[in-house]
A = this chain, B = another copy of it.
Amino acid sequence: MKKLSQTLLTAIEEELQHQVSRLNEEHTATYHEMLTYHMGWTGEGAGEKARGKRIRPLLLLLAASASGGDWEKALPAAAGIELIHNFSLFHDDIQDKSETRRGRPTAWKIWGIAQAINAGDGMFILANLAIGDLAKNYPADIILVGERIFQKTCLDLTRGQHLDIDYESRSDLSVGDYWTMIAGKTAALISTSMQLGALFGGANEETQNAYRDFGHYLGLAFQVQDDILGIWGDEALTGKSAASDLLEGKKSLPVLYGFEKNEEFAQRWKEGSIEEANVPKMAQLLEVEGARLKAQRQADQMTDLALKSLQMANPQDDAGDALFSLAEHLLGREA
């Protein structure tokens, strides 16, 4: 099982390098370098840590294999999904003014905003070209179906991103606004990774939908868990780490429960940004007011729905085992 995932991850990395090498041309060497740097292959600090986990393409290939298909044929789709994910990170870093990612300076810090916007655009186009490469392995009408799903998901991603940026300056947010945002920003791409894997693995529509639902709930559960750790994880509680969502004023799910409750936490939040020394007190207030428990219940419920959907999809063989084990790892993780 571990061995299968490792084989897939190696193949994913090779396919990604093949796809990005499209940009490797004499006149635009720096443009190419911006992408290989961001992907974690070149520049200072290049290596496994700089690359990220490649979770989405791994999920896609496992779904293809667990549906009885040949994962190698689906490799360009896996690369396309990972390139879209990285395209969104590329632009996200500019939008959030983030100066580091995975311990390294972000591309816009090195090459400037103008070039970074353009290189992010290029990453998106490479994703589209990767999806087009599926034409050598599948009939044209299946590819068009896959592309449709893919492009609609990209649109959902930008909807989620629009809301995320919008929420920063808003104080009238509700828990409902939260779900709308993370459905687009976090769950859509994971959900589509699973659906495309099943589609290119040859699953029927019902099974495709079960895989898609698994991805959707996995994405939501993962995000809520991340929100909880961002406040009550070991690092966050010290208040000394950038990981503290309270310090950053992030409107995560527990914070929105605090708004809803409208007691001491909400009162203090309105008084302005939270200082480092007050982070533990604010986290405690939020917990006393029940926000942590509510968020944990949501995470548990989404986890439950995710695993039920995966059982419904009935994934087969080694890839099936690997999917269950990956899901448990992602959903049960600790700080």
Contact = CB atoms under 8 A, between A and B. Distances in A.
Given A155-B122, A180-B27, A117 B91 contact: yes
Interface of A: 22-23, 25, 27-28, 30-31, 91, 94-96, 113-115, 117-122, 124-126, 128-129, 132, 135, 139-141, 143-144, 147-148, 151-152, 154-155, 158-159, 161-163, 165-166, 180
B155 A22 contact: yes
Contacts of A124: 121, 124
Given A117-B94, A117-B117, A132 B158 contact: no
State the copy count for this chain: 2
Contacts of A148: 129, 132
A158 B121 contact: yes
Given A28-B163, A162-B118, A128 B151 contact: yes
Contacts of A126: 155
A122 B121 CA distance: 11
A30 B162 contact: yes
A118 B155 contact: no
A129 B155 contact: yes
A122 B180 contact: no
B125 A158 contact: yes
Given A140-B144, A144-B140, A162 B28 contact: yes
Contacts of A120: 117, 121
Contact of A31 (B28, B128, B141, B158): B158
Contacts of A22: 155
Nearest to A161: B118
A143 B145 CA distance: 12
Given A31-B158, A95-B118, A151 B125 contact: yes
